[in-house]
Structure 1
Amino acid sequence: MAKIHELRFELLNHPPYSPDLAPSDFFLFPQLKTALGGQRFSSNEELITFVNDYFAEKNAEYYLDGLQRWEHRWEKCVELQGDYVEK
């Protein structure tokens, strides 16, 4: 908490965790899940390499677009005081 104050971040009241607001849940992992479909890996290392390569192949626009969509979701959630659900 001291670091937050030191960096002069403002803490906002927010709703409990929502997958609608987690970039990993709405734009990173669903596409990764599709890419993993039907794959078989002989070791954890092979899987880790696949996932690292998958994300390394994504260009900057992929991540920028996802973060911009996340920002829109976050703003909408704040505007609706937490009653936000993406359908």
Structure 2
Amino acid sequence: MELLDHLPYSPDLSRNDSLTFPKIKNRLRGQRFQSPEEAVEAFKNAVLDLPANEWNKCFENWFERMQMCINLRGEYLEKQ
């Protein structure tokens, strides 16, 4: 295995929650919580309410980006 000179926390490989996070945020927008525990519970419920196809899209996009990084041998995607 060849070690590639690449940052371990590349933005190209970061979690791809940009599709799901805005939807979760919109569900929580405007709500007020009496405690941190109540906020966490509301967040959990919002996450669990997202349909499976939304999560599938999120992970498919992430896997595609990982494959592009492999194909580019560690070069940043923005350079292409």
Among 54, 58, 64, the alignment partner of 1:62 is 54
1:77/1:83 contact within 8 Å kept: yes
Once residues 42 and 68 of structure 1 are traced to their aligned partners in structure 2, the CA distance between those partners, rounded to angstroms, is 37
2:15/2:62 contact within 8 Å kept: yes
Correspondence list, 1:18-29, <5 A: 18-23=10-15, 25-29=17-21
- Stretches of structure 2 lacking an aligned partner (at least 5 in a row): none
- Corresponding residue pairs, total: 76
- Please identify runs of 4+ aligned residues in structure 1 that moved more than 3 A: 24-39
1:41/1:47 contact within 8 Å kept: yes
Does the C-alpha gap of structure 1 residues 50 and 30 become closer, same or farther in structure 2, counting only changes over 3 Å? same
Among 7, 11, 15, the alignment partner of 2:6 is 15
More RCO (CA 8 Å, sep 6+) = 2
Q: TM-score scaled by structure 2? A: 0.67
Once residues 63 and 40 of structure 1 are traced to their aligned partners in structure 2, the CA distance between those partners, rounded to angstroms, is 26
- Stretches of structure 1 lacking an aligned partner (at least 5 in a row): 1-9
1:20/1:26 contact within 8 Å kept: no
Q: Does 1:83 align with 2:72?
A: no
1:46-75 Cα offsets, whole Å, 9 max, x none, are 111111001110111111111100011111
Q: TM-score scaled by structure 1? A: 0.63
- Percent identity of equivalent pairs: 31
